Amino acid sequence: MSVQPSTHVIDDIQEVLISKEQIEAKVAEMGGIISREYEGRDLLLVCILKGALVFMSDLMRCISIPLSIDTMAVTSYGASTVSSGVVKIIKDLDVPIEGRHVLIVEDIVDTGLTLNYLVSALKNRKPASVKICTLLDKPDRRKAPVTPDYNGFVIPDKFVVGYGLDYREKYRNLPFVGVPKDYVWNEEH
């Protein structure tokens, strides 16, 4: 029997791990902390596409100090859920970062391989500082020594979707973070 595509993305979710309300409260709190810590500094938020898009757009509106934004795209998992360990910049920053305070905004730290590479690549460009802000942290799977400077939620070793995070480009538009139902892994694409 073939599996019919769901009408609503929420129908494919087995468990809501972090609710919309929990995310809203946490992002507001993080924005407040960042506003205080970066006051008087030239802050550049770097959104790692595409997963951090939703987080970044909410976070920046919770930061009250002047800032600029830029985006980067890197390969990490490809279409699979297992990290290849290979990191490649697909879209680089549009602006130089020398002397600026760079805050990388990422959806999740898993193995840490992506951020480990990115932080050292950006440090080579002589910014005043490079820090990491993530919504989610999955410390159980860490392979590289990465600790986010700002993190929203520590989560268990489960593959999650929603609030910008995808599975095969789907589920980014869910307003919460959740775990897909088992049949999702077996759907044909």
Verify binding: residue 107, ligand 5GP, rule CB under 6 A.
yes
Verify binding: residue 17, ligand 5GP, rule CB under 6 A.
no
Verify binding: residue 121, ligand 5GP, rule CB under 6 A.
no
The token pair at 20 is: 């919309």
- The number of CA neighbours under 13 Å toward the Cβ of 118 is 31
Total chain residues near ligand 5GP (CB under 6 A)? 19
Catalytic site includes residue 110 = yes
CB of residue 98 vs ligand 5GP: minimum separation in angstroms? 26
Verify binding: residue 153, ligand 5GP, rule CB under 6 A.
no
Instruction: Mark residues 59-98: x for contact with ligand 5GP by CB under 6 A, - for none.
Output: -----------------xx-----x---------------
Neighbours of 93 (CB within 10 A): 15
CB of residue 44 vs ligand 5GP: minimum separation in angstroms? 19
d(CA 97, CA 101): 8
User: Do residues 44 and 97 lie in contact, with contact meaning Cβ atoms separated by under 8 Å?
Assistant: yes
Token pair 């480990």 in the structure block, residue = 116
Stated as kind and residue range, the H or E segment containing 15 is strand 13-18
Instruction: Indicate which residue of 110, 137, 149, 157 is catalytic.
Output: 110
The token pair at 122 is: 């950006």
Q: Restricting to residues 154-183, which ones interact with ligand 5GP according to CB under 6 A?
A: 159-161, 165-167
The token pair at 154 is: 């520590």
> Dihedral angle at the C-alpha atoms of 109, 110, 116, 118, nearest 10 degrees?
-60
Verify binding: residue 108, ligand 5GP, rule CB under 6 A.
yes
Q: Which residues bind ligand 5GP (CB under 6 A)?
A: 51, 76-77, 83, 106-114, 159-161, 165-167
For the annotated catalytic residues, the residue numbers are 110
